[in-house]
Amino acid sequence: MIRIAEDFITNLPPGEKQLVEALRSIVLSCSPAFVEKLSYGVPYYFLHRRVCFIWPASAGAAGIDEGVLLGFCYGNLLSNEQGLLEIDGRKQVYMITIRELSDIKPELFCEIIHEAILVDEGFRKK
């Protein structure tokens, strides 16, 4: 699985590549149990269900012209205490838009990812 994601990253434009590599490092550091798979042509991170994804603008259909989205599949169940999740009229999937490295907030992103992991654990118990 890791090889597929690395091949995906290799083919990205340089600016997106740098952002995706940084986000991927953060996501994978939050849980050694994450399974990384390409889904819809972009990297998704699974535990019991899809937890989050990294969607560069060049992959298309992201709704952005530049940058990278860090998306949360069940964002509607997250607290958004950090105030970073963009809802934009969506009912379930919430995202954070990253346009440059300075937009990346590792500690805050990890807080959100850990909360998303707790939500995922809740699905396992049902």
What three-state secondary structure class fits 99?
coil
pLDDT given at position 124: 78
CB 58 within 8 A of CB 64: no
Q: Which residues contact 46 (CB under 8 A, 6 or more apart)?
A: 34, 35, 36, 37
CB 99 within 8 A of CB 66: yes
Cα–Cα distance measured from residue 61 to residue 28, given in angstroms and rounded to the nearest whole number = 24
Q: Burial, 31: exposed, middle or buried (Cβ in 10 Å; 0-12, 13-18, 19+)?
A: middle
H or E stretch including 96? strand 94-98
In this prediction the pTM is 0.92
Write down how long the chain is: 126
Q: pLDDT band at 2, cuts 50/70/90?
A: low
Cα–Cα distance measured from residue 121 to residue 115, given in angstroms and rounded to the nearest whole number = 10
Q: Which architecture characterizes domain 2-125 according to CATH?
A: Alpha-Beta Complex (3.90)
pLDDT given at position 105: 97
What does the pLDDT look like over 49-108, one tens digit per residue?
999 999 999 988 767 788 999 999 999 999 999 999 999 899 999 999 999 999 999 999
Domain borders along the chain are: 2-125
